[in-house]
Amino acid sequence: FEEGTPPGVATIPGTYLNGFHERAEIVYPEDAYGLARVSQTLLNVTSGTTMRLWLNGERVTLAGDVSDYRRSLDMRSGVLTRSYLWRSSGGARARLGFVRAVSLSEAPRAGLRLTVEPLDGPMSLRITHVLDGRVENQVERGDPRVGTALAGLVLLSVAHAHDGERLLLRQRAPHSGLELVCAAAHAVSGMEAASTFHSEPLLATADFEAHLEQAAALDVQLVYLDSRRVDPAELTAAARRELAAYANSGGVTGLFERQRKWFEAFWRDADVEIAGDTAVQQSLRFSLFHLLQGAGRDGLTNIASKGLTGEGYEGHTFWDSEIYVVPVFTYLRPELARALLAYRVGQLPAARARAHELRRTGALYPWRTIAGPEASAYYPAGTAQIHIDGDITLALERYLQATADLDLMWDGGADVVIECARFYSRYGHVSDDGSFHLHTVTGPDEYTALIDDNHYTNKLARQTLRFAVGLANVLRSSDPVRFEALASRLELTQDELDRFAGYARLMYLPVAGELGITPQDASFLGKPEWPWDSVPDERYPLLLSYHPLDIYRHQVLKQADVLLAHVLLPEDVPRWRLRRDANYYAARTTHDSSLSACAHAIVAAELNLMDAAVSFFDATARTDLDDLQGNGEHGVHVAAMGGAWLTTVFGFAGLRVKDDKPTFRPRLPRRWRRLRFRLRWRGCLLEVDADHDTTRYR
């Protein structure tokens, strides 16, 4: 990541976990409201994928005589392939193939292969491979979802090198000082090639020339290393050592084979099989593939709302991660869920600092971030979304429930839960009527901001307070001595735990008596309706066409966060109220958010409204493959991808956890003949195989 703003004036003490440091300072500037903000942007790295090709002296481009063009993403083996037939101006033909993979098991490595097959006799060949450090990021031009990013060149040159086998570029992000090295080694097969290498500060090239009589290939072994994981003094040497190890492990061929085996192991347990609906089958596998390749694995990184596929939202992590992605990995790959949660544990000092800025104790996690501090400049839809604390603690609770992994709680998870509960207890207050209220917040629905008693926020806060008390009791019972040390470090007392429990009981969660529905917030039902009939379709999404204050004063939703609260915490929602809430809020929801449809789909499935459930599910599952939001160039919609799996398993398969056990109530759409999936529960692998008549559990 890159910090686009130099260090500023606010210095706030924090505490790292696990005794690594007693204190840590978080330094960042203040914005116009006195609240600190750091501009954080995920930068595009040195490009290593460019290859230029000349045959018989002619430059090969797709603008030429090209036929039989194919491009495919093989999700079973984790490779991208492209091939086509090219014809020269003199009529000579050649078949070209490109294969590319970024290793998911060997983090620094990627592999490229170019194959050339002459079809009408010998040809002269020239191939140029380029490491290009002249990369830029997108700059926002009227769409706030893209982000401002950084204009122009974003990586400065530190070093460049070349020899008879390798290329290397080393660059630095100017503000954060993070350094990156990209290095490449090459191997040719099927030809005798003369090679020349050249490098300059932002560009390194390798040229290969040969007389081609048969099919031949050029393999490029790419490695990327950075100064977060390697001592800067060792960065260049480490890249060379990594290239040597890469070659000794079979080069590009070995990488492709290990990638295939890695994905075979993943799909064996994680695949969702649907008979009777090929579009949905494709969508679910596509979604799982992108979730898998976009998720951090090291505890230092999370998953951006666009994964690693585009520059929308500047590569920031949102609450999408804990609500839509972590639950998927909790049941499919718990070790990945643990890594994503460990990222939040490591950012607790920044969350404590943010709470301190609001004159509260505890921790307030950022609505959007990369490095820990809040990256949103617009506080009504940023800092006011204090539900993020509840999202994170709910993800921790569900992870603990499904894995029984108390070690994560001892290793900082409990600190997160207690500090989030502490923040809620100090942010809210008890009114004269004896209810506990949370004022001036924004829920997940960003078309309603700075309101009181948002139902979603209050319900997640109540669950956080309850979980904090329950977790403390579990930890105390499992290891009293260790718990006392934890309580001492956090200055946690029984009186405070009792206060958490009391506020949870008093949490304000009303039902409107005259309508029998759950108010989204204290003022929502008193607002005027949105003028649906006078707003043309091209004015949606509303946030691109109308001032926020115009939107905020109406009963109009970007997404129905009441229904999402019911999906996440259904225990105290009677069926009659779920039906009324679904009817009321569906009529007032634009679904301008890609996060919206899956909650409606799960609710509709629960109510046996299968046609509606399928319609909402299709809108979720096909978001990216059909570009339903119209902004595919910004990257995929990670939350919708997670939502597709959640709808399948929680909606159509009816997964619920009751009395600490998983239960199911499958109800398949008419067009599906069969649904089969697997999930993990406390070290066991459970398979659910359902058709319209029978469900088999194994």
Predicted pLDDT at 142: 65
38: pLDDT strictly greater than 80: no
List, in order, residues 6 or more apart from 577 with CB less than 8 Å away. Answer: 511, 516, 517, 518
Helix 561-568 to helix 575-586 angle (10° resolution) is 150
The Cα 305–Cα 147 span in angstroms is: 13
pLDDT per residue as tens digits for the range 114-139: 999 999 999 999 999 999 999 998 87
Residues forming the active site: 446
Predicted pLDDT at 436: 98
**2 confidence band (pLDDT: 50, 70, 90):** very low
Can you give 425-436 as a three-state secondary structure string? HHHCEECCCCCE
619: pLDDT strictly greater than 50: yes
pLDDT per residue as tens digits for the range 229-277: 899 999 999 999 999 999 999 999 999 999 999 999 999 999 999 999 9
What percent of the chain has a predicted confidence (pLDDT) above 70? 93
Return the residue matching tokens 């449809």.
597
Predicted pLDDT at 143: 66
The Cα 94–Cα 85 span in angstroms is: 6
Predicted pLDDT at 145: 64
CB-CB contact of 390 with 402 (8 Å): no
Q: What would the DSSP string read from start to end of 32-87?
A: TTS-B---EEPPPPPEEEEEEEEETTEEP-TTSEEEEEEEEEETTTTEEEEEEEEE
**From the centroid of its chain, how far is CA 211?**
47
CB-CB contact of 55 with 65 (8 Å): no
Predicted pLDDT at 402: 98
Tokens describing residue 294: 């976009």
Average pLDDT over every residue of 330-336: 98
pLDDT per residue as tens digits for the range 542-575: 988 999 999 999 999 999 899 999 999 999 999 9
**297 confidence band (pLDDT: 50, 70, 90):** very high
Please tell me the least confidently modeled range out of 137-141, 194-198, 593-597, 642-646: 137-141
At residue 398, φ and ψ (nearest 5 deg) are: -65, -35
Average pLDDT over every residue of 367-382: 90
Strand partners, 203: 132, 200
Residue type, 689: D
Predicted pLDDT at 123: 96
Predicted pLDDT at 11: 31
**From the centroid of its chain, how far is CA 344?**
13
What percent of the chain has a predicted confidence (pLDDT) above 90? 86
pLDDT per residue as tens digits for the range 471-483: 999 999 999 999 9
CB-CB contact of 238 with 212 (8 Å): no
Average pLDDT over every residue of 88-112: 96
Average pLDDT over every residue of 32-42: 57
Please tell me the least confidently modeled range out of 90-94, 300-304, 310-314, 397-401: 310-314
Cα distances (Å, whole numbers) of residue 486 to 360, 392, 416, 476, 478: 21, 20, 12, 10, 13
What mean pLDDT, rounded, does the chain reach? 92
330: pLDDT strictly greater than 60: yes
Predicted pLDDT at 146: 67
